[in-house]
Copies of this chain bind each other. A is one copy, B any other.
């Protein structure tokens, strides 16, 4: 199986997508093709041996081969001819905007490129945290209470402490905890920097959090369950660690009943909407009840560190991608009309 990794994008998570791609290079058994989407949304073919963060931050990537996305694949122009870049399956590794919001799913589907990643509807429902609430409810998975405010509004009804999140970003960008009134306006202004709307949820001190990744190939493949430890790092270090991880993490100590319940909640969320994707669901457990916190449809470095044999998982998933139903276009109506008109 020859993989291509698509990374970058016009996204607040552009940089961590680069870090994520470098991490994935280390864990795949065969060297993938690297396709970079820059902030101007031009595509470049990056030789694997040049995959270092500095190539991108310095702008030196612009000297590499430019690619065009067309029907059937990515092409480079050699003299008068177009040559396709060869791979079997592309891994969409653009985090945040462009990658997780549905644009890349649309482009890849439209141009008939087989890919691992969330499809269009799955992207839109998981990228917008309000839509995720609606979706989880329809799956019978509980979520925390919430309210949505729009730019210009500071009229929060949720009691302190609460958490403020931009409605559409992934990662922890623009997220604040508000413990008292004097922190409110600043927290909202920070979130409004990133989105016209914000989601507000109660903040529960010391809540139990469990992350579970997985996908469906022949059957469901689950990762270990991780209890994230987030508080001891500076912001950029935390992010770097989250997205560059390739070492396996400590498995959370959860009893069989909880493990089963988390698997069950994951399945309800995953099927059928997320077919073709490897996702990570972040859950809260409060008084023995499971709540969906969020869905990461393209987790940092594909959460490779949560799997025993990541290469085997991604290869199995690559063989179980949903096929787009091709629609026959037959000009039946136009023929009927022309016959009716006697033409």
Contact = CB atoms under 8 A, between A and B. Distances in A.
A57 B334 contact: yes
A101 B120 contact: yes
Given A53-B334, A54-B338, A329-B39, A124 B134 contact: no
Q: Do most interface residues of chain A lie in helix, strand or loop, or is the interface mixed?
A: helix
Interface residues of A, number: 63
Q: Most chain-B Cβ atoms within 10 A of its Cβ — which of A97, A105, A333, A343?
A: A333
Interface string A135-146: 000100000000
Contact of A102 (B14, B40, B120, B331): B120
Interface stretch (A234-242, A261-269, A301-309, A311-319): A234-242
B10 A326 contact: yes
A333 B239 contact: yes
Interface string A200-237: 00000000000000000000000000000000000011
A90 interface: no
Interface in A127-180: 128, 130-131, 134, 138, 150
A120 B110 contact: no
A12 interface: yes
B196 A334 contact: no
A53 B337 contact: yes
Q: Which among A68, A121, A327 has the highest number of chain B CB atoms within 10 Å?
A: A327
5 contacts: A15-B334, A102-B106, A103-B110, A121-B128, A239-B333
